[in-house]
Chains A and B, each alone.
Chain A
Amino acid sequence: MSQSLAKKCNEVKERYDTCFLKWYSEKYLRGIGAVDNNECSALFKEYSSCLQVALKERGIDKLLEDAREDNKENDADLSP
């Protein structure tokens, strides 16, 4: 993937992305193993805690809240 929003999260993001893409292509898409992507969840946790700080620093957490409110108003549903 491209860079992370926050430089300091790049390294863990890179490891998570690689894990996710392997799991997705080799297991999820083939219906192999448990449905949950547990094998990447420890990495995701680490990545996420780094990212949350960056989102807050840039005020993006607030933008996300607003978007969720808008979604509720529009009653967005992703099912086809």
Chain B
Amino acid sequence: MVLTHTTNHAYAHPLPTVTLAFFLRYCSPQLNPFAAHVLSTDTISTHVDEATGRLHTTRIHLKKSRMPPSIMKLLPTSLTGGGGVDKASYILETSVVDMREGWMSTESRNLNFVGVLSVVERQLYTAATGPANPSPAAGNENTNVATTVVFRSRLGERIRDRLGHHQNQTQHLQLPSHAHQLAPTATDAAQQEPGSGWFARLGARGIQRSIESLASTKTQDQLGKSREGMRMILERLRQSGIIGVLELRKMARERSAEAA
């Protein structure tokens, strides 16, 4: 089961600024109100390849769960952790920047819940070239972004990460009675092959397909918001430059520290 969603978009900003905005996009909810669901952002690794001059960066984001309530309803509470709507997801983001060739390539994927739904978003940012702008890296005003999102539900299939069990040892605590009838326990359900247990009764394939299409609809909405957030950061960079943005971020941080 795989569902793919592809979109193209252009920013009226040069590629270097757009790549900077990409790194800054979760910097603070004051600078990007569309990033209020991002709880944390950390850099795991970063290096420049000496041969190619490419910057490779790996980051991990913690986001409030984007798993829509409609999907949560399809799943037994034992799988969603009871109050599953508030559940947070870890997102692994890898990016490569090549300023010589004029592109940035990114990939984001969820690290937990992969058993229910795996979402892999890939983006390719390129300096817009046309007859007037033959050189890809030199001073183009527009940046094109091609986004591909692949949704895959492997619910009921045997996989390594059983629904984020690494961190959620306690998630089968509050099991309402109707969920009991559907799923004996979270682990049992996840380990069962399709064709047995509640997957057979509900139709694992059907559920997988529903999850993928619900997530796809939700993501199209989310992509719009993520573009809005990028646009706000880009506007800030145009107005006040990176130093100005760093100042704003610092002030916002101090204000929120005072309020806390």
Q: Mark A48-80, 1 if CB is under 8 A from B, else 0.
A: 100100010011101110110110000010111
B10, CB-defined interface residue at 8 Å: no
Interface residue tally on A, bucketed by range: 35 or more
- Decide: B20 and A29 in contact? CB cutoff 8 A: yes
Q: Is the interface of A mostly helix, strand, loop or mixed?
A: helix
Q: Are B16 and A29 in contact (CB under 8 A)?
A: yes
Stretch at the interface among B46-54, B182-190, B192-200, B221-229: B46-54
Cβ B105 vs Cβ A2 within 8 A: no
Q: Taking the nearest CB of chain B, how far is it from the CB of A20, in angstroms?
A: 7
The answer to whether A2 touches B166, judged by C-beta atoms less than 8 angstroms apart, is no
A22 at the interface (CB under 8 A from B): yes
Residue of B nearest to A77 (CB): B105
Nearest residue, chain B, Cβ from A59: B166
Are A24 and B103 also in contact (CB < 8 A) when A16-B43, A44-B43 are? no
Contacts of B39 in A (CB 8 A): 2-3
B137 to chain A, nearest CB (A): 9
Interface string of B226-251 (1 = CB under 8 A from A): 00000000000000001000100100
Contact between B42 and A13, CB atoms less than 8 A apart: yes
Q: Are A78 and B107 in contact (CB under 8 A)?
A: yes
B38 part of interface (Cβ distance < 8 Å): yes
Residues in B with CB closer than 8 Å to A51 are: 42, 44
B92 neighbours in A (Cβ, 8 Å):
64, 67
B210 an interface residue at 8 Å Cβ cutoff?
A: no
Could you tell me which residues of chain A, from 2 to 31, have a CB within 8 Å of some CB in chain B? 2-5, 9, 13-14, 16-18, 20-22, 24-26, 28-29, 31
Tell me which of B16, B23, B29, B111 contacts A67 (CB under 8 A): B111
**Nearest residue, chain B, Cβ from A13:** B42
Q: Nearest Cβ in chain A — how far from B6, in angstroms? A: 14
**Assuming A25-B242, A66-B161, is B26 touching A1 (CB within 8 A)?**
yes
Q: Are A2 and B20 in contact (CB under 8 A)?
A: no
Q: Which of B97, B160, B166 touches A69 (beta carbons < 8 Å)? A: B160
CB proximity of A17 to chain B, nearest CB, Å: 8
Structural contact, A5 and B160, CB atoms closer than 8 A: no
Evaluate contact between B20 and A35: CB separation under 8 angstroms. no
B179 within 8 Å of A (CB atoms): no
11 of the cross-chain contacts (CB-CB < 8 Å) are: A2-B35, A2-B41, A14-B253, A20-B43, A20-B46, A28-B48, A31-B99, A36-B47, A51-B42, A51-B44, A63-B164
A residues touching B (Cβ–Cβ < 8 Å)? 1-5, 9, 13-14, 16-18, 20-22, 24-26, 28-29, 31, 35-37, 44, 47-48, 51, 55, 58-60, 62-64, 66-67, 69-70, 76, 78-80
